[in-house]
């Protein structure tokens, strides 16, 4: 014999704020319960003076590290040690879809624009850039190698990342 169960409470959809207030960080998308830990960034590259990027395999999370490095040595590699926060370094965590598509390119895809940006508030490492070559090739794209080694990256929301290493032969390649 079947039973019919009727709720004694009239349930209405609660906005996310109400759910967070009622259940705190136990609810998905609220406070500490929403941060990701040890996000792996599997693909990366660089361009410009020192703009490095790394993106997750799914393409939905990326970290960018950018700094001014035009005045580096013409005779030997330049190593720049970084400890975040650093006003000379722009370190950003991005969320979106197919984020790698819009890095270091002249043709932007609006579907791949980041949906969320937040600063990376902690992390340390270094950027190493080869010397700028002399002669007619000094301004050519792909004539300078660069490397980013970074550990302990933490986004403003608490998301953490595994160590990031990016090696690129595209330092000196500029979009636009």
Digitized pLDDT (tens) for each residue of the chain, 176 residues in all? 443 333 233 333 333 333 333 333 333 444 444 588 999 999 999 998 899 999 999 999 999 999 988 778 778 999 999 999 999 999 999 999 999 999 998 888 888 899 999 999 999 999 999 987 777 766 678 788 999 999 999 999 999 999 999 999 998 888 76
Dihedral angle, C-alpha 142, 124, 161, 87, nearest 10 °: -80
Q: Is residue 39 within 8 Å of 56, Cβ to Cβ?
A: yes
């Amino acid at each position: 014999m079947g039973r019919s169960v009727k709720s004694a409470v009239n349930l209405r959809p609660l906005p996310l704020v109400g759910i967070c207030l009622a259940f705190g960080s136990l609810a998905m998308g609220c406070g500490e319960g929403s941060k990701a830990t040890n996000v792996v960034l599997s693909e990366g590259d660089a361009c410009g003076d020192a703009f490095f990027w790394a993106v997750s395999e799914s393409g939905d999370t990326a970290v960018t590290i950018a700094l001014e490095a035009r005045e580096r040595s013409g005779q030997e590699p330049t190593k720049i040690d970084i400890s975040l926060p650093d006003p000379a370094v722009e370190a950003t965590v991005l969320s979106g879809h197919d984020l790698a598509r819009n890095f270091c390119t002249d043709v932007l895809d609006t579907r791949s624009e980041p949906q969320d940006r937040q600063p990376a508030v902690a992390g340390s490492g270094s950027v190493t850039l080869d010397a700028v070559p002399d002669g007619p090739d000094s301004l050519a794209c792909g004539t300078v190698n660069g490397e980013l080694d970074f550990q302990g990256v933490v986004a403003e929301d608490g998301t953490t990342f595994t160590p990031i290493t990016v090696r690129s032969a595209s330092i000196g390649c500029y979009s636009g």
